[in-house]
Amino acid sequence: MGLPAHSDHGLLTLLIQNDTLGLQVLHKDKWVNIQPLPNSFLANIGDHIEILSNGKYKSVLHRVVVNDKDIKISIALAHGPAADTAVSPAPMLLEDG
Ligand SMILES: O=C(O)CCC(=O)C(=O)O
Ligand SMILES: [Fe+2]
């Protein structure tokens, strides 16, 4: 099953996972395995943080690949506005004259 490539919609996703590989991020056009760290949360920046930081903090493209031998367990805790929340364009500064 796994998860197709995507970026996370909201502000931040916290991930708790077992020690099975599977989560990958796209880095310099290559999929890179993320080694789970024991007893830790993985924090993933979402689209809204990228927008609110004017691109300083990137909402990275990631995916999950699985196989039929290893059991992959992960719990994702998404934080941010509802998925159907519209993001308004930044207000424009108008100059006089
Ligand atoms: O289950 C995972 O390892 C990743 C989950 C994920 O990317 C998500 O819920 O957005
Ligand atoms: Fe995700």
pTM, 2 dp: 0.85
Structure confidence by residue, pLDDT tens digits, 16-35: 999 999 999 999 999 999 99
> What is the whole-number distance in angstroms between the Cα of residue 19 and the centre of ligand 2?
18
Q: Is the ipTM of this complex over 0.90?
A: yes
Half-sphere exposure of 64 (CA within 13 A, CB side): 15
> What is the whole-number distance in angstroms between the Cα of residue 95 and the centre of ligand 1?
44
pLDDT, the chain, mean = 91
Q: What is the pLDDT of residue 50?
A: 96
Q: Average of pLDDT values for 43-52?
A: 95
Structure confidence by residue, pLDDT tens digits, 64-91: 999 999 999 999 999 998 877 776 666 6
Q: Which atom of ligand 1 is nearest to the CA of 62?
A: 7
- C-alpha dihedral, 21 to 25 to 89 to 11, nearest 10°: 30
